[in-house]
Amino acid sequence: NAGVMQNPRHLVRRRGQEARLRCSPMKGHSHVYWYRQLPEEGLKFMVYLQKENIIDESGMPKERFSAEFPKEGPSILRIQQVVRGDSAAYFCASATGSYEQYFGPGTRLTVT
């Protein structure tokens, strides 16, 4: 059973460009979570999605950030018009909805 997959693993964007981060949950998992880890800081919850629904986006910045988890395909975290402060590691986790979350390897976003 493959684990949570994220791609790309590393992404470099210039200021003002768009960043798209993809997350494929573990087989059978219908719950997806996105977290952000800024340099030298802890992990912060961003958004929680189930198939085609955003359940909790209380940790998402109000502007430029969006997330989706379509019926088919991976979950996407989209950052429009990136700024240097968006440089961070973005982790996705999946779960069956009970108990433990399983994390992917992360996407390292660098904004130049």
**Residues of the shown chain interacting with other proteins in the complex, contacts defined by CB under 8 A:** 4, 31, 33, 35, 42-48, 55-56, 58-59, 89, 91, 93, 95-106
Q: How far is the CB of 6 from other proteins (least distance, A)?
A: 8
Q: How far is the CB of 42 from other proteins (least distance, A)?
A: 5
Q: Quick one: DSSP state of residue 73? A: S
Please give the structure tokens belonging to residue 101.
Answer: 């979350």
Q: How far is the CB of 33 from other proteins (least distance, A)?
A: 6
Q: How far is the CB of 12 from other proteins (least distance, A)?
A: 17
Of 59 and 74, which has the nearer Cβ to other proteins? 59
Give the end-to-end CA distance of the chain in Å, rounded to a whole number: 37
- Pairing of β 19-24 and β 75-79: antiparallel
Q: What are phi and psi of 86, to 5 degrees?
A: -85, -10
- Closest by CA position to 80, among listed 66, 68, 64, 67: 64
